[in-house]
Amino acid sequence: MFQQVPLVEIDGMKLVQTRAILNYIAAKYNLYGKDLKERAMIDMYVEGIRELMDLLIKHPFLPSAEKDSNTKLIQTKAIDRCFPVYEQALAQSGGGYLVGGQLTKADVQVFEVVLMVEEKLPSILSSFPQLQAFRSRMRNVPAIQKFLQPGSQRKAQPDDNYVKNVMEVLRF
Ligand SMILES: N[C@@H](CCC(=O)N[C@@H](CS)C(=O)NCC(=O)O)C(=O)O
């Protein structure tokens, strides 16, 4: 529609726009809350983690002189702003998931960002016990466990070749 990726072909549609894609899949597979209030909580948790995700996604494409300061920003944002929110939500949730006692797209997106931050900063969860337990629980969700296996559809960390390719294709 806008000559951009990502594009997902599903149910006879060509879906574009990341949030529209995620919302459709979440609603279709019952990962988007039981009512409007749960949906609002899910949206807040997802938008809250997005700022951190944006810093992580752009990292491989930054000039090397800017990488250290971006890593510091990721660390500060994770420790001071984002992770305490999810730590507290998990402590209060009882069921081990962020909203409504069942798996939602908020859990999936927070888990994804936790893995991405840990790839850069391995001890980032050291003062977040709830998030550590959450990370282990999420790893054991059967579909996620399968997705994390080597050889799955999960993309590897971008290497220099990948970065060069993307920059050429998207004419950065
Ligand atoms: N708002 C869109 C942004 C998508 C976007 O920026 N896609 C980039 C690649 S990451 C693209 O296709 N760029 C090519 C272009 O705009 O010509 C979304 O969230 O999906």
**Residues 32-56: tens digit of each pLDDT:** 999 999 999 999 999 999 999 999 9
Positions of the chain with pLDDT lower than 50, given as ranges = none
49 and 11 co-located in one domain: no
> How far does Cα 99 stand from its chain's mean position?
16
Is ligand 1 within 6 A of the CB of residue 20?
no
26 and 40 co-located in one domain: no
Q: What is the structure's pLDDT at 170?
A: 84
Q: Which domain holds residue 147?
A: 36-168
76 and 153 co-located in one domain: yes
Is ligand 1 within 6 A of the CB of residue 18?
yes
Q: What is the structure's pLDDT at 21?
A: 98
64 and 99 co-located in one domain: yes
63 and 12 co-located in one domain: no
DSSP lists the bridge partners of residue 13 as 10
Q: For residues 158-169, b (16+ Cβ closer than 10 Å) or e, as one string?
A: eeeeeeeeeeee
How many Å apart are CA 60 and CA 166, to the nearest integer? 11
Number of domains in the chain: 2
Instruction: Name the pTM for this structure.
Output: 0.93
6 CA from centroid of ligand 1 (Å): 7
Q: What is the mean pLDDT of the chain?
A: 95
Say which amino acid occupies 123: S
Query: What CATH number does residue 66 fall under?
Result: 1.20.1050.10
